Structure 1
Amino acid sequence: QRPTDTRCLLPFLSSYEKQLGGLPNHIVADAGYGGEENYKYILEETDSLPVMPYTMYRKEQKRSYKQNVMHREHWEYRAADDFFICPNQRKVNFQRYAYRTDRYGYVRDFKVYECEDCSDCPLRTQCTTAKSGKNRKIFYNPVWEELKQRARQSLTSETTATIYRQRKIDVEPVFGHVKALLGFTRFRLRGLPKVATEANLYFMANNMRKLARLACLYGKNTYPKSSFRFWIGIFLGQRTFCLRL
C-alpha cells in the first residue's frame, strides 16, 4: 500500500499497459501525481505526454507569488559565471553538487548555491530562516526545473489545456457522486483485495445510476420513479453484501 498519489501512478500505468496493450497519447492527472520520477518515466519510457500540474503550479499562478521577489525563480541568473543575483544585489554563488535519495530509492541531483554574505542584509528576515552567521542556500534541481517548464507548456497549450479541463468534467464528478449520493466516504473492509471489491461495487452502483438516468431520458415505457427505485435497490443490496464480506 502506498500512502501518496505520487507513488501510485507508475504501478497504475504498468497495469494499464499490460491489460490494454498500450498507453493513451496523454496521461492526465491532478497535482498529486506531478513528481519528478513520474514526469521522467512518462517522457523517457513511453510515447505519451504527461498533462498534469506539479504541487506548486497553482500557487505559482497567483499574483502574490509572482510579486514576491524572495523566490529564487524571480532572481537574475548569470549563466556564464553560474550565479544568481539576490534582491539585495548580492551574488549567490555555486558551491557544490549534492544528491538526495528518498526512502523509495529515487535519487535527485542538486546544485547548491550560497549567498556571499547575508550578515547585514536588511532583507534577511524576509529571505531566509538560516541561523545568525549562516547565509541563505539554494538547492537547485536542473532536471526538475526543466520538467516543470515542460509541464507549464503542456498546461498552457490550447490542445492539452482543453484535455486537462475535460478531466474535471469526466473524472471528478464520479468521486463527488459516490461520496455525496451513495455515502461512500470510508472503506469498511481491510486488505487490498477486499477494498478493491468494495470500491468496484460502489462504482458499479454509480454506473447503474447513470444507466437508469439514461433509460429515463431515452428509454420507452420507463419512468424516473421506477428507474430510481431500481438502482437504489441494487445499491442497498450491494452495501449489505459488502458488510457481510
Structure 2
Amino acid sequence: MILFSFSRSVMTSRKIEKFAEKNIVARWFTQYQGPSYRTICRFRISDEIETLLDDSYKKYVIPYSTMLKENSKKWKTDEKKVMNWNYYEDDDYYINPQGVRFSFNAYRIRTDKYGFKRYFKKYISEIFDDDHNRIPQAFTPGGNRKRIYINPSLEYFKAGMRSKLSIPQYADIYARRKNDVEPVFGNMKTCLGFKRFHVKGLNKVKKEMMIVVMALNIRKLVSMSFFICIFREQKSSMWNFFKFTSNF
C-alpha cells in the first residue's frame, strides 16, 4: 500500500492514512483496516523495508563523470593529463612525458562555498637535472615552477570503479543502462512529486529512498505494459485485416 501511495505522489504518513481511507485500491491493499499514520510511519523506517529489495538492487555500477572521456583515445594520448604520466609509488613522485619529475611537496585543503573540504597532495617540479642543469620544461611561461594537485580520495574511488567495470559481470550490468542518472531524479521530482525526504537520519533516508525507487519502477512497469498491450492490439488488428483482404 505504501508503494502504491508513493507511485500516486502521496508521500507523508498522514496523507497516506487519508489516501488509504478514500482510495478504493488502497482500501483493498489494506483489507479495509485503515492503518493510522503512526503505524505507517513506524513501518516505513523499520528494518522490514530492507527485505523489499533484493541484494542485486544494491549493486551499483555508476561511472564517474570523466570515465568515458578517460577511456577515449584522445584522452589517453594527451600528455597534459596526469593519468598518462609515470607514477612511482615508493618515492611518491610523477614523471611527465618531457622527463620532468614532480615530487611531493605538501598537503593542501580546499574549501568550497558550501563548506565542503577536499584534501589534495601538492607536487612541484624539479628544476635541476642530475647534472645540475636547469630544466626549461619545469617552468610555466610566467617563469614559475609547475605544480600539480592530486586528490587521493577521488583517485581511490575512481580506481575502484574502473576495476569494477573491468569485470564482465559488472560491465554487463552497466551495458543495460547507458543513460545518466539525472533523468531518474527528474522523474522522481516530476512524476512522483518527490522533492525532499520526510524522515531524518541516514539509515531512515536510505529506507525511504528504497520505497521511492521501487514506486518509480512500478510506474515504469505499468507504462510499459500499457504500451505493449496497445502494440499487440494494433498488431493483431493489422493481421486480421491482411487475412480479410487475402480472401478477395
TM-score normalised by L of structure 2: 0.50
Residue type matched to 1:113 in 2?
Y
Q: Superposed, which structure 2 residues align to 1:1-245 within 5 Å?
A: 20-21=49-50, 25=55, 48-117=58-127, 121=136, 130=140, 132-168=142-178, 192=195, 209-216=223-230, 223-224=233-234
CA distance in 2, matches of 1:69, 1:16: 51
Larger Rg over CA atoms: 2
CA distance in 2, matches of 1:137, 1:81: 17
Residue type matched to 2:82 in 1?
R
CA shift, 1:55, in A, is: 1.1
CA distances 1:97-121 after superposition (whole Å, capped 9, x unpaired):
1122334443322110011239863
Identical-residue share of aligned pairs (%): 25
CA distance in 2, matches of 1:54, 1:68: 19
Residue type matched to 1:121 in 2?
P
CA shift, 1:191, in A, is: 10
Q: Which runs of 5+ in 1 are unaligned?
A: 1-14, 28-47, 125-129, 176-183, 194-201, 226-245
CA distance in 1, matches of 2:92, 2:111: 25
Q: Which runs of 5+ in 2 are unaligned?
A: 1-43, 129-133, 197-215, 236-248
- Secondary structure of residue in 2 paired with 1:149: helix
TM-score normalised by L of structure 1: 0.51
CA shift, 1:20, in A, is: 3.5
CA distance in 2, matches of 1:164, 1:56: 16
CA shift, 1:57, in A, is: 0.4
CA distance in 1, matches of 2:56, 2:121: 31
CA distance in 2, matches of 1:55, 1:77: 23
CA distance in 2, matches of 1:117, 1:73: 22
* Closer, same or farther: CA 105–72 of 1 in aligned 2, 3 Å: same
Aligned length: 163
CA shift, 1:143, in A, is: 1.9
Runs of at least 4 residues off by over 6 Å: 15-19, 202-206
Contact 2:126/2:138 (8 A) holds in 1: no
Task: Give RMSD over aligned pairs.
Answer: 4.4
* Closer, same or farther: CA 98–205 of 1 in aligned 2, 3 Å: closer
CA distances 1:164-208 after superposition (whole Å, capped 9, x unpaired):
11224xx78xx6xxxxxxxx9xx7xx9948xxxxxxxx9998765
CA shift, 1:151, in A, is: 0.3
CA shift, 1:54, in A, is: 0.7
- Secondary structure of residue in 2 paired with 1:100: strand
- Secondary structure of residue in 1 paired with 2:176: helix
Residue type matched to 1:21 in 2?
E
Residue type matched to 1:163 in 2?
I
RCO higher in structure (CA 8 A, sep ≥6)? 2
Contact 2:138/2:145 (8 A) holds in 1: no
Q: Tell me the residue number matched to 2:22.
A: none
Residue type matched to 2:234 in 1?
P
